[in-house]
Chains A and B, each alone.
Chain A
Amino acid sequence: MADKFRVVIVGSGPAGMSAAGRAAQLKLKHVLLEKTDHLSDTIYKYQKGKHVMATPSQLVLRSDMDFDAGKREAILEIWDKQTEACAVNVQYNAEPVKIEGEEGDFTITLKNGDKVMAETIVMAIGTQGNPNLMRCPGGDNKLVQYQLDDPGEYYDEHITVIGSGDAGIENALGLAADAAQNNIVTILNRSPEFARAKKANVKLLMEAGEQGKVDVRTETTPAEVKDGELVLETRDGQETIKCDRIIARMGSAPPRKFVEECGIEFTSEDREAYPKLTPAFESTKKGIYVIGALAGYPLIKHCMNQGYDVIEFINGNKDLKPADEPILEKKFADLPGGKSVDEWLEFFRERVTILNELSSLQMREFMLDSEPRRYRRGEVVFEKNEPGSSLFAIAEGSVAVEIDPNDPSITVPIEEGSIFGEVGLISGRRRGATVNAAEDLIVVEISRTAALKLQASVPAAKRAITRISTERQLLQMFGSGLTKDDISEVVEGSEIMNVRAGEAIIEEGSEGNDIYVIRVGSMVVEKKIGGKPVFLSYLPAGSYVGEMTLIAGGMRTATVKAAIKSEVIKINGDAFKKVLDKHPDLMRKAKQEMASRQDINAFVEAKKDSFSGVVDYYSGVANFLVDNGIGEATDVLLIDENLCVGCDNCEKACADSHEGLSRLDREAGRTYAHLHVPTSCRHCEHPHCMSDCPPDAIHRGPDGEVFIDDTCIGCGNCQRYCPYGVIRMDKVPPKKPGLLSWLFFGSGPGPGEPDKQWAAENSDPEVEKPKKAIKCDMCAGINGGPACVRACPTGAAIRVAPEEFLTVAKLEQEDA
């Protein structure tokens, strides 16, 4: 049996390699196990010539290996050289399949049967190789497989491929390639377009679709797997198809099973959860350390630093401060009291209720994404109607919330340990009230991403946030001097419901007196007139429906259904009636609102006969817009094709206002009754693009615009997540000569986006510009507003917010 190593490092990615380098420098007896025959397989598998980014830029690299942004080849070459120069002991083609034993005496069994003995183990295996599983009922059915080795093996089968990436498309095409195999192949894509895959692949798939070789279904997700059958959730409802085999290609997550078998616990049952770790990266299994992507840090710099740190810790260096220490020190520098970083972390963790359950490592990471702030007594934390999606937690002091816009002296206090600003976080809309510091205040501002991460990793935090937000939302919405105690019964009996797009929460003519508060998403109100549904109004998040029957009695007078996937708070009607009866002010307010709603009903009823065509047209347009994602938009560009002469001046203006790249495609997109929705950002209430941005570069700006800042690493995640295909990945072209030199001397490519050839010929060959994500920022910071609208010569281009556009009031004006 071989000698025992002081430390065995599993996985030779940036984290493992950096760890091995440190171990070699410290002359520790070590071995680096790599399952392939080359270092750093994940980066090795990047496409040729890919520009690798080095973020976060403020983080100092602490490793024996060098790393800077550059081409994949150059980086791999440096690492190969330095691994050799450091005399790292690498064992290739060594994939551990089992780890047994205790600290000081581990036995690692490799795939080929060899055994490696170790005192300590550093796991740096990343998250590859653990495909995302199907989560619908029946997802564990034997029909489902996650890999396809040889498409030629299958004959005469109904095969469904799930996933819209290259892997899924290639599988589907492979299975359908040979007609003699007689397979009936279906591919499912939950979004309308195949944005994640290479263009060439998509084109082949579309042609195969037209030729009937592959059944391409977009906006379709699996709902249930049964033996021999697959139930699909489509736009138009459920549908069952025959299915003998399902090939699921939906990305990957941590290889939990292997890690758990080693005796390592995870923070939660959540699929995206990571192992529980001490500040020194030690897992719950003594002697096994976890670093890198598996520890929840997907960025190369983090990984390399952790590799260095973990070996220092193992080697007994207890005083090593994490590489992020200076960043945290800077964050806490402005706070009074002169505490150390660790003391501050402890201060926030102890005092803020929702942070109580965090581990110190989580706390550290949490603080990196969040911002501690102090306010003097009376200072404004944020103003009503300010955009903002962050959450605030009070560590010391208390705040006063102005609940009456007309009288700032009427306030409601929020005490130490609690949170505020959660409505913006949940609904993505503007701040609902102005908040002042009631005494000297120390808070932590938690960015949207950090708050979401927190809710995912700490269930108690999620519950607390949900309860508080329900209570606050009700108080704020109903106002009229209600207090927490008045509505405690209502809050207790309330229930949060998820509503699918198109699902109705209230049916016209049904019984019921419950009230629904829209928490996330938006709803449309429809009324049947002459047998046809007529679009009455659009309700954004933060509004409530259902009070009419509660106050006036009778049946529901209209149908309310979700425009997009939404969340509503269902409030028990009887409990709420009690509150109404006790508070005449509230009752009066509710009655007023009811009256205005009844006015609209009456208006539509009355006008129906005189201009039914107009009402139909309006309903048609409204439904079309909702179908095209306007229901989740906050600001959208529309083009009236009765006026559009196709000059593309909007695109040119966009390019000229933004470093030479147009962020909109006028011609593409859907059209209804000459109203065209071009491919351009809708600034969604809950931007899909934000869901997985590694450097957290996507934000909502002061005017509600969703924009990407300069820290973009060009990973393309946002482009893949956007269901509307409005984000493009491109290099910034070189600067053009001025307009006059073009007008008079013909120099340069003229107004608008320069063509690729000109850009290539005129860029500096020495400087390699990375591709970055480009999207509409609503021309934030440009005096005059959106260039596309200003530059439209005929007035065809308009920007609208849905609640302003989707209203029957338009009918009145058009009628007038």
Chain B
Amino acid sequence: MASVPVPGDVAKKKVAMHDGFLKHAGYKWLKIASFIMLLSIVSYLFIDVSPRHNGGSWYGYTLGTIGAGLILWLTMLGVRKRAMTPGKWSLKAWTSAHIYLGLSLIVIGTLHTGFQFGWNIHTAAYAFMMIVIISGIVGIYFYATIPQSLSNNRDEMTETQMLESLRSLDRQLHEAAQPLSAEHAALVLQSLEQDPFGGGFLKRVSGKYPNCATRAAQADLRRERAYQPRMGGDDPLDKVDALLEKKEATLARVRRHLRLKALLQVWLFIHVPMTFALIASLSAHIISVFFYW
């Protein structure tokens, strides 16, 4: 019926474009990284270095140079991400390469040590590298699992809209609490005055706010009302109760939102500083190696 035939090639290209960073270009970087790792392991087993495998042999130097180069290149992702230069690069491809080549460092770095560890700057550099890699793996896990929940939770609302709706609820609460008795009003005031997201890092990441004044206020109000006779008609407490309920639901959503956003970033607080520690210890490692040559 249609006169426009389905552009098969283009459709395929578009679908291919719609791969995530892990699947990018048919797992191209996974394949490359696997090949590098395999090559390293095989050569490690087959090349006979006497007296034993060691960072100071020609083979060890080769692996070390590749590893150090990789580390520097991987660090450049931070610059690539922020430098919006023209050109046919894609940050997704960079991320994909960053992940798989970064993982290959586990093999390259470990083989470079020749499994010789000690309490020295060399092992320190190795340790930092492994911390960076492990935090990176945590990051991959978060990146792969959290976005869906983030999307579900926000339900087409933007963060600004969520905060705005909280402010609007607060305004309405303030108005609705005017006819209340002093002790009831004090409860509502608790809820209005508390910074509902304060309390530091652990609360943010866990999403648990045990001292939430809004929840406390609602619980207290309900507890008290259980003993009071229902008056019928327009009870101002009904309205306050409904508003507190709404506020709590909104708070829960914002807290989940902030928690998920925090999780998406929290691993970077280890990954990035440790990268700098790694580069510092790596420099020390390299200089000391050449100094004692």
A-chain residues with CB within 8 Å of residue B154 when the two chains form the complex: 667
Q: Which residues of A in the span 788-814 have a Cβ within 8 Å of any Cβ on B? A: 789-796, 798, 800, 803-805, 807-810, 813-814
A757 to B37 CA separation, bound complex (whole angstroms): 50
If A645-B264, A674-B148, A751-B84 touch, does A792 touch B4 (CB 8 Å cutoff)?
A: no
Kindly state the separation between the CA atoms of A537 and B83 in the bound complex, as whole angstroms: 40
Number of interchain pairs (Cβ within 8 Å): 153
Say yes or no: A207 contacts B168, CB within 8 Å.
yes
- A557 and B12 contacting across the interface, CB-CB below 8 Å: no
Q: A540: CB under 8 A from chain B?
A: yes
B86, B91, B156: which contacts A671 (Cβ < 8 A)?
B156
Q: Which of B13-21, B185-193, B226-234 contacts A (4 or more CB under 8 A)?
A: B13-21
Among B1, B87, B91, the residue within 8 A (CB) of A793 is: B91
Evaluate contact between B148 and A642: CB separation under 8 angstroms: yes
Question: Is A783 touching B92 in the complex (CB atoms < 8 A)?
Answer: no
Interface: B47 (CB within 8 A): no
Whether B52 is near chain A, meaning CB under 8 Å from some CB there, is: no
Q: Does A58 contact B (CB under 8 A)?
A: no
Query: Which residue of chain A has the shortest Cβ distance to B98 in the bound complex?
Result: A793
B window 206-233: CB within 8 A of A: none
Is the beta-carbon distance between B2 and A539 smaller than 8 angstroms? yes
Please name all residues of chain A whose beta carbon is closer than 8 Å to the beta carbon of B24 when the two chains form the complex: 795
The verdict on A739 contacting chain B, using a C-beta distance below 8 Å, is yes
Contacts A792-B91, A800-B14 given: A643-B2 contact, CB under 8 Å? Answer: no
Are the C-beta atoms of B151 and A547 separated by less than 8 Å?
Answer: no
A798/B148 in contact, CB under 8 A? no
Task: State which residues 3-48 of B face A: CB under 8 Å.
Answer: 3-8, 10-12, 14-15, 17-21, 24
Q: Closest CB-CB distance, A384 to chain B, in whole Å?
A: 15
Q: How many residues of B contact A (CB 8 A)?
A: 48
A795–B20 CB distance below 8 A: yes
Determine which of B15, B147, B158 lies in contact with A645 in the assembled complex, contact meaning CB atoms within 8 Å: B147
List the B side residues contacting A594 at CB < 8 Å: 1
Please give, as numbers and ranges, the residues of chain B lying within 8 Å of A596 by CB-CB distance. Answer: 5-6
Asked if A597 CB lies within 8 Å of chain B CBs, one says: yes
Cβ A640 vs Cβ B148 within 8 A? no
Smallest distance from the beta carbon of B187 to chain A beta carbons, Å? Answer: 24
Cβ proximity bits A637-661 to B, threshold 8 Å, 1 near / 0 not: 0001111111101001100110000
Q: Which residues of chain B are near A558, meaning CB under 8 Å?
A: 1
In whole Å, how far is A463's beta carbon from the nearest beta carbon of chain B?
27
Q: How many residues of A contact B (CB 8 A)?
A: 70
- Give A542's nearest chain B residue, CB to CB: B4
Contacts of B3 in A (CB 8 A): 477, 543-545, 593
Partner of A653, one of B7, B19, B20, B84: B84
Report the Cα distance A646→B263, complex, angstroms: 12
Closest chain-B Cβ to A540's Cβ sits at a distance in Å of: 7
Nearest Cβ in chain B — how far from A594, in angstroms? 7
- Contact A793 B6, beta carbon cutoff 8 Å: no
A792 to B160, CA, bound (A): 22
Given contacts A537-B2, A671-B151, A783-B88, contact A805 B264 (CB under 8 A): no
Inter-chain CA distance A622–B158, complex, in Å, is 24
Task: Name A671's closest neighbour in chain B (CB-CB).
Answer: B156
Cβ of A727 under 8 Å from chain B: no
Q: Shortest distance in angstroms between A519's beta carbon and chain B's nearest beta carbon?
A: 13
- The yes or no answer to A787 lying at the interface (CB within 8 A) is yes
Chain A residue contacts of B6, Cβ below 8 A = 537, 596, 600, 807-809
Q: Is B159 an interface residue (CB 8 A)?
A: yes
Asked if B253 CB lies within 8 Å of chain A CBs, one says: no
- Give Cα A667–Cα B154 distance, bound, in whole angstroms: 9
For the complex, is A223 an interface residue (Cβ under 8 Å from B)?
Answer: no
0/1 interface trace, chain A 35-55, chain B, CB 8 Å (1 if under): 000000000000000000000
Cα distance, A670 to B151, chains bound together (Å): 11
Complex CA distance for A770 and B5, rounded to whole angstroms: 47
Contacts of B90 in A (CB 8 A): 789-790
B89 CB within 8 Å of chain A: yes
- For A743, list chain B residues within 8 Å (CB): 79, 82
Q: Quick check: is B150 within 8 A (CB to CB) of the other chain?
A: yes
Contact partners of B8 in chain A: CB under 8 A: 809
Closest B residue, CB atoms, query A740: B79
Quick one: which of A527-567 are within 8 Å of B by CB? 537, 539-540, 542-548, 557-558, 560
Given contacts A543-B2, A784-B89, contact A793 B21 (CB under 8 A): yes
Q: A666's closest neighbor in chain B, by CB?
A: B158
B21's closest neighbor in chain A, by CB?
Answer: A794
* Cβ contact within 8 Å between A809 and B20: no
A768-795 vs B, CB cutoff 8 Å, 1 = contact: the mask equals: 0000000000000011110101111111
B77 to chain A, nearest CB (A): 8
Nearest CB to that of B10 among chain A residues? A804
CA distance A798 to B15 in the complex (A): 10
Q: For chain B residues 75-109, which have a beta carbon within 8 Å of chain A?
A: 79, 81-84, 86-92, 94-95
Complex CA gap A239/B265 in Å reads 49
Smallest beta-carbon distance A488→chain B, Å: 21
A676 on the B face (CB < 8 A): yes
Report the minimal beta-carbon distance from A30 to chain B, rounded to whole angstroms. 56
CB of B258, distance to nearest CB on chain A (Å) = 11
> Of A657, A669, A793, A803, which is within 8 A of B84 by CB?
A657
A667-B158, A792-B91 known; A646 vs B261 contact (CB < 8 Å): yes
Give Cα A560–Cα B3 distance, bound, in whole angstroms. 13
Contact residues in A for B155 (Cβ distance below 8 Å): 671
A813–B2 contact, CB under 8 A?
A: no
Residue among A560, A593, A669, A814 with most chain B CB within 10 A:
A593
Complex interface: chain A residues within 8 A of B87 (CB): 783-784
Contact of A644 among B15, B18, B84, B147 (CB under 8 A): B147
Question: Within 8 Å CB of B14, what residues of A?
Answer: 798, 800, 804-805
Q: Is there contact, CB below 8 Å, between B21 and A643?
A: yes
**Chain B proximity of A533: nearest CB distance (Å):** 16
**Does A668 lie at the interface of the complex (its beta carbon under 8 Å from any beta carbon of B)?**
yes
Interface residue B143 (Cβ < 8 Å from any Cβ of A):
yes
Does A525 make an interface contact (CB < 8 A)? Answer: yes
- CB-defined contacts of B86 to chain A, threshold 8 Å: 657, 782-784
How far is B150's CA from A641's CA once the two chains are assembled, in angstroms?
A: 8
In angstroms, Cα B90 to Cα A547, docked, is: 44
Chain A residues in 8 Å Cβ range of B82: 652, 739, 743, 750-751
Give CA–CA (A596, B6) in the complex, Å. 9
B146 within 8 A of A: yes
Question: Bound complex: CA of A335 vs CA of B154, how far in Å?
Answer: 61
B4 and chain A: residue at smallest CB distance = A543
Q: Quick check: B92 and A548 within 8 Å, CB to CB?
A: no
Contact A547 B1 (CB under 8 A): yes
Selected from B17, B79, B92, B261, the residue in CB contact (under 8 A) with A794 is B92
CA distance A711 to B10 in the complex (A): 36
Q: Which of B1, B89, B156 contacts A597 (CB 8 A)?
A: B1
Bound form: Cα–Cα A593–B4 in Å: 8
Which of B11, B143, B147 contacts A813 (CB under 8 A)? Answer: B11
Partner of B1, one of A548, A645, A790: A548
Q: Which residues of B contact A (CB under 8 A)?
A: 1-8, 10-12, 14-15, 17-21, 24, 79, 81-84, 86-92, 94-95, 143, 146-148, 150-151, 154-156, 158-160, 168, 261, 264
Beyond contacts A645-B143, A674-B151, A792-B92: 12 other A-B pairs, Cβ-Cβ < 8 A, are: A544-B3, A547-B1, A558-B1, A593-B2, A640-B18, A640-B20, A641-B151, A644-B150, A647-B264, A652-B82, A795-B21, A795-B24
- Can you list 18 contacts pairing A with B, beta carbon distance less than 8 Å? A543-B4, A593-B2, A593-B5, A597-B1, A641-B148, A649-B91, A656-B84, A668-B158, A670-B156, A739-B82, A783-B86, A793-B92, A793-B94, A794-B20, A796-B147, A804-B7, A807-B6, A809-B11
Closest 5 CB pairs of A and B: A641-B151, A656-B84, A667-B158, A795-B92, A783-B86
Q: Which residues of A contact B (CB under 8 A)?
A: 207, 477, 525, 537, 539-540, 542-548, 557-558, 560, 593-594, 596-597, 600, 640-647, 649, 652-653, 656-657, 665, 667-671, 674, 676, 739, 743, 750-751, 782-785, 787, 789-796, 798, 800, 803-805, 807-810, 813-814
